[in-house]
Copies of this chain bind each other. A is one copy, B any other.
Amino acid sequence: MKIAVAKGDGIGSEIMDAVLKIFVANKVPLEYEFVEMGKWVFDKGFSNGMTPEAKETIEKLGALFKGPMETPKGKGVKSINVTARKTWNTYANERRFQSLHGVETVFSKAGIPIDVTVVRENIEDTYGGIEHMLTHDVALSRRFITRPGSLQVIRYAFEIAKTKKAKRITCGHKANIMKITDGLFLECFYEVAKEYPMLKADDVIVDDLCMKLVTRPDTFDVVVLTNLQGDIVSDLCAGLVGGLGFAPSANIGDHISIFEAVHGTAPDIAGKNIANPTALLLSGLSMLRHVGLTENAAVIENALLYTLESGIHTGDFGDKTRPPVNTTQFAEAIISNFGKQPKMNAREVEPNMPGTPAPFKLEKNPMMISKELVNEKIVGVDLFIESDEQPEEIAKKCLRYAGAKFQLINISNRGTQVWPTGSVYTNLVNQCNVRFESQDSQEVTQQDVIGLYLGLSANFKICSIELLNMWGDKRGYSLAQGQ
């Protein structure tokens, strides 16, 4: 089996060499095809940081093992890491954070063992990067959460929990505030949970989750979250076990998966052969397991744990009274410890079951769609207008255009209702949401909405509009604060 390898920038090259040296010494049955990705590829003029050949190879092989990469700053180009994750729909980011004997942390000192797997949705949320300035003062980022996207990552998290023999799987969310978006994610979580009755499934509000993770991290096992919350929680967990230098990362898709070190490229120490390859090695082990090479993964991981336990360390961690080894020596120490058993967290060695990757070649983009609900209808519209007038003035102008089909329901500013009732203590910005609903929730057409839009545009700049939809009796929009 062949995989694509991109060494990355800065220390990428030396830590990748160290890891591949370990793989080769362990006779890992993989072949490596090196591809061109990273800052130096941006510099060569490829605006997405990879050559067309690299893209083709990765899409052909389906697995990419990559070192840390840098995206040039201030050139308006998008992060190469994010582009790769999104283009190839690696919808789940999986990271397992474990206490490592030999890596001292506040929690290891307190005798609190950690073994938390964070599965983070990897495509959606504000990471879509869809942003607009509505007025000179008001910036908008569209945070979207989809049902199929949520189901996809949540299902993966449950599968991981099963493989891990986890006791608990927890959904982190903020559905008490983001009732529709995170509400949807949470609904999907409990929908999937029904298929896994052997797993204890529960949910925690994300701020509470973070408080609990810094006090009792040992009570969590597998945690699944939306993108930004998952990003924050996974780096928090990396901190609990000693930092990004000890945290693996796998980006899983249906066709292409990416295994990478997510720490920086450390240009200051690049080329000195002193960088710590542990995070990249752990990411590589997660790749071996992903392709069924469980025996190689277990033997190498046990050798790594044994090496750490015996006090061998690179300069960035470990017992300062003992001299550090360099990157190559660290790899050699691991190789010399193949077959040894660590005292803590030894992995069971199970025989390899390499999957034969199903040959795939997509002809068109996969469309993910739920069964359509019946009785979808438009019942109104939110018009986001620019104005520095008082709510009463705006309402007066808007009422003129409501016509027979619509009624002006309310005006809100930054989500707080300011008309027909509100508080004079609510500060305003120069953009507000004017909500029109149809009379008696009758269905209206897009043409009706456009008619209203056209009328109002004579008086206001309308920055943005959103239809108000209903599915059966279910309202597809939130109420304003105070409505």
A: residues with CB less than 8 A from B are 48, 55, 59, 76, 78-79, 82-83, 86-89, 91, 105-107, 109-110, 112, 123-124, 126-134, 136-149, 174, 176-181, 183-184, 206-208, 210-215, 228-229, 231-236, 238-240, 243-244, 253-256, 362-370, 372-373, 376, 382, 388, 390-391, 412-416, 418, 422-431, 433, 446-447, 450, 453-454, 457, 461-469, 471, 476-482
Contact = CB atoms under 8 A, between A and B. Distances in A.
A139 B144 contact: yes
Contact of A146 (B255, B429, B454, B465): B429
B127 A468 contact: no
16 contacts: A109-B109, A128-B414, A131-B178, A133-B477, A136-B376, A149-B414, A211-B236, A211-B244, A229-B232, A365-B413, A365-B425, A367-B428, A368-B429, A453-B453, A463-B467, A464-B466
A202 to B, nearest CB: 16
A253 B433 CA distance: 23
A426 B254 CA distance: 10
A176 B39 CA distance: 16
B180 A132 contact: yes
B255 A369 contact: no
Number of copies: 2
A89 B425 contact: yes
A411 to B, nearest CB: 11
A37 to B, nearest CB: 15
Contact of A210 (B127, B136, B235): B235
Given A132-B468, A210-B235, A214-B239, 14 more contacts: A48-B482, A89-B427, A123-B416, A127-B415, A133-B477, A134-B467, A136-B471, A137-B368, A137-B369, A141-B144, A174-B228, A365-B413, A446-B457, A450-B454
Given A179-B131, A424-B364, A479-B76, A231 B207 contact: yes
A120 to B, nearest CB: 11
Contact of A131 (B48, B137, B180, B253): B180
A133 B450 contact: no
Contacts of A229: 232
Contact of A465 (B76, B149, B243, B464): B464
A482 B83 contact: yes
Best-surrounded residue of A127, A132, A254 (most CB of chain B within 10 A): A132
Contacts of A126: 143, 174, 177-178, 181
